[in-house]
Amino acid sequence: MCFTAAPAAASILVKEGSTGEAVRHVQELLIEQGFLEGEADGDCGPLTVAAIEKFQESRGLTVDGVCGDGTYYYLSGGKSYETAEEPAEQEEAVAASDDEAAIPSGRAMYVSASGYSAYDPGNSKHTASGTLVRKGVIAVDPNLIPLGTRVFIPGYGRAVAEDVGGAIKGHRIDVAFDSHEEALRFGRRDLEIIIIE
């Protein structure tokens, strides 16, 4: 599976005190869905935080008043946050992914994520669980995310924690891909994942 539009996706983090176009966009979505009244001013103050919390509560998400990638995915109806580059291509990629057809419920968790594959120098073709390294697998710190946990990663889809790594501690995960090139394109990014419950 090819993620040619992945570079157009960008992480989003809207929280109290944030300003700018991302805040304005989140406010517009909240207004459209009846969670916020008034105009989108690009300033994330107490009213915007309260609206994000109401939205999160309505969807069964962790209620923290922060709109990261996971909350945004629900708020936007299944789209990843995009930069101005090639938005139509990104929407097609999201729409075409079977893994993202149904938006799961669960709790949000912020992590630092890196792409990896069985073809990266020094990597094994097998996970710590004995399965093959492939798309749909993540490597985790089992003290934070137990092996076997199912997660949803906006812009990637559903995955299962089947692997561990020496450098993976705390809120850090590795996201598996089927090729070294896809892993490189994903790179490293901070994002919000959903722990499926």
Q: In the chain, what are the domains?
A: 6-96 (1.10.101.10), 104-196 (2.40.40.10)
pLDDT at 62 over 60: yes
For residue 185, count CB atoms less than 10 angstroms from its CB and return exposed for 0-12, middle for 13-18, buried for 19 or more: middle
Within a 13 Å sphere around the CA of 105, how many CA atoms are in the beta-carbon half?
Answer: 8
Q: How far apart are CA 147 and CA 103, in angstroms?
A: 22
- Listed range (72-76, 79-83, 99-103) with the worst mean pLDDT: 99-103
Global model pTM greater than 0.95: no
- Answer yes or no: are the C-beta atoms of 11 and 89 closer than 8 Å: no
Mapped onto helix, strand or coil, the DSSP state of residue 5 is: coil
26-58: per-residue pLDDT in tens?
999 999 999 999 999 999 999 999 999 999 889
Angle of helix 21-32 versus helix 46-58 axis, rounded to 10: 50
**Under 8 Å CB-to-CB from 123, ≥6 apart: which residues?**
116, 117, 133
Q: How far apart are CA 77 and CA 70, in angstroms?
A: 11
- Answer yes or no: are the C-beta atoms of 2 and 182 closer than 8 Å: yes
